[in-house]
Structure 1
Amino acid sequence: MNAVALGFDRTLLELKMYSREKEAVFFSFLFPILMLALFSVIFGDEMEAGGSQMSAAEYFLPGMISAGILLTSFQTMAMSVAAERDDGTLKRLRSTPMPPVSYFLGKVGLVVTTALAQQVLLLAVARFAFGVELPDTADRWFTFAWVFGLGAFAGTVLGTAYSSLATARTIGAVVVAPMLILQFISGVYFAFTDIPSWLQHIASIFPLKWIAQGMRSAFFPDQLASMEMAGAWEHGRTALVLGGWAVAGLVLCVLTFKWFKRGTT
């Protein structure tokens, strides 16, 4: 219980520090919301998907939700953990009586809080600013919930493991470049069927494609499932892939996490 209480305190501290990092707040929290607003203003009601007319906000919303999940989990964790390792924060924390689990609970609390706040704001903007009809059945909200949960957990553990690949000075480029590429090939900014098939197969290896497909199944009409690679929403495969990445990320965290900067003890 003491570790949990300390984890809650650590969460509050993490949120306070996160709110002071204007670049992190913009690129991981506000970026999907601003992109949705930008696409909605530029394209208006001119989008067509599977023979159906829809507004740009309706079309791009699942993709922006998906990108937001990985930005607030994977990108936030990778960059913050790398920075704390290099500036000695992790080394100092390791020498305190605080249980290591409390540190990780604080990071999980940061991701959960920011990701949920981002999704609420994103959905509110879509609904009240651009008139997007949100899911009206419990099963669609359930799909949204489990895809969100699995995606956020996978992004959190993978981001923590990924932080070991670079220093605080280089982690930005190491994280942002792959994230941008994945967004372009995973159906976030373009219809997935418009992407060359060889890029579709590459995207299918990574979580973002499956988060985006899961979110489309929650927000798009069922007839648009024909636009997916397999012609179906594939909820079972989506859960399997995201769950597999979550387990793999957790194992990588255990094997690769370091409290100290390279070359120090």
Structure 2
Amino acid sequence: MSPVWYAAGIGVRRGWTELRQTFTTGQDVFGYVLWTVLLIVPLFLVRDDPMKGAGISAGAFMLPSMLGMTLAFTGMMTTAQLLATEREDGTLLRAKAVPHGMVGHLVGKIIMVSGTALVSMALPFAVGVLLVDGVAQQGGGALLTLVWVVPLGLLATLPMGAVIGSLVGSPRTVGLLMLPVMGLVVISGIYFPLSKLPEWLQTVGQIFPVYWLGLGLRSALLPADAVAAEMGESWRHLETGGVLGAWAVAGLLLAPSVLRRMARRESGAAMAERHRKAMQRVG
């Protein structure tokens, strides 16, 4: 076995270990529960409100949309936060000191973040289907759609999260990025159909993967008649695959070079300088 594949195998085992740890850590479990509550509360409030012309309730429209948003944000923002944090505390520097350590480290993070994203989707989905009628009743066709939408969504967001985490100066900067991210939610058709927005906002919303993940999950989990609420009254599977695929390709091409450049810049002196500046802010 080549050293790179050996390092990747260690990364897989490390990822599973970190995933098990997060499910047994009280603070992390509370975070999953809190996120579920934050999604379910607005869903509960509108669960029976009819959506004009679509034959479904507003709650039924929102549930798969929120799941798509969760997948996108967990894949992108959690990856960015973890990389920025581990660069600051020296974890990446230690990984760099081991032969092919960065490979194993990043594979472990992919396993861990992917598992976290799926759990973050599964909890609100399990609660949501009990509150909202007309969701997840489509049989095998829905499962086939989920099989390609969910992995492609992760491929579209995880590498871009790695790029963001490599470029930002600190974990606090990643936190500030949540402000524009919340603005993106508004124009991504999460809480109401994108067709209700001005055309220029529709165009902007369709550039990013959040809208397409929501659309793909709605196509899998909602009745066929619900397509009346979508733009062009179509689920646009080809466009969904194309846009998510484009984001995945761009991320996979960009992330390795950005990560290598970040790793080359890491040193004990650089970490000490970050620590010094952090202590100055505290003081």
1:79 is aligned to 2:76:
no
Single out whichever of 217-226 and 16-25 deviates more from structure 2: 16-25
User: In structure 1, the residue corresponding to 2:172 is in which secondary structure?
Assistant: coil
d(CA) in 2 for partners of 1:210, 1:188 = 10
1:264 is aligned to 2:270:
yes
Distance verdict in 2 for CA 1:130–1:233, change over 3 Å: closer
Task: Using the TM superposition, give the Cα deviation of residue 233 of structure 1 relative to its aligned residue in structure 2, in angstroms.
Answer: 1.0
Single out whichever of 231-240 and 127-136 deviates more from structure 2: 127-136
1:34-87 deviation per Cα after TM superposition (whole angstroms, max 9, x unaligned): 233212332241131424242x43221111111110122111001110111122
Single out whichever of 140-149 and 219-228 deviates more from structure 2: 219-228
d(CA) in 1 for partners of 2:195, 2:122 = 29
Aligned partner of 2:173 in structure 1 is 170
User: In structure 1, the residue corresponding to 2:270 is in which secondary structure?
Assistant: coil
Task: Using the TM superposition, give the Cα deviation of residue 13 of structure 1 relative to its aligned residue in structure 2, in angstroms.
Answer: 4.4
Aligned partner of 1:61 in structure 2 is 63
d(CA) in 1 for partners of 2:75, 2:224 = 29
- Once the two structures are superposed, the pairs formed by residues 1-265 of structure 1 within 5 Å of their partners are 2-15=6-19, 18=22, 22=27, 26=31, 29-30=32-33, 33-54=36-57, 56-97=58-99, 99-131=101-133, 133-166=135-168, 167-174=170-177, 176-257=178-259, 258-259=262-263, 260-261=265-266, 264=270
| Equivalenced residues, count | 261
d(CA) in 2 for partners of 1:51, 1:154 = 29
Distance verdict in 2 for CA 1:227–1:40, change over 3 Å: closer
d(CA) in 1 for partners of 2:134, 2:226 = 17
Whose Rg is larger? 2
Distance verdict in 2 for CA 1:99–1:216, change over 3 Å: same
1:209-260 deviation per Cα after TM superposition (whole angstroms, max 9, x unaligned): 1111111111222233233223311101110110110010111102211124
d(CA) in 1 for partners of 2:183, 2:92 = 30
d(CA) in 2 for partners of 1:241, 1:51 = 25
d(CA) in 2 for partners of 1:208, 1:25 = 25
Task: Using the TM superposition, give the Cα deviation of residue 169 of structure 1 relative to its aligned residue in structure 2, in angstroms.
Answer: 2.6
Unmatched segments (≥5 aa) in structure 1: none
RMSD between superposed Cα atoms in Å: 2.5
Unmatched segments (≥5 aa) in structure 2: 272-283
d(CA) in 2 for partners of 1:83, 1:70 = 20
Distance verdict in 2 for CA 1:169–1:243, change over 3 Å: same
d(CA) in 1 for partners of 2:214, 2:239 = 13
TM-score by length of 1: 0.87
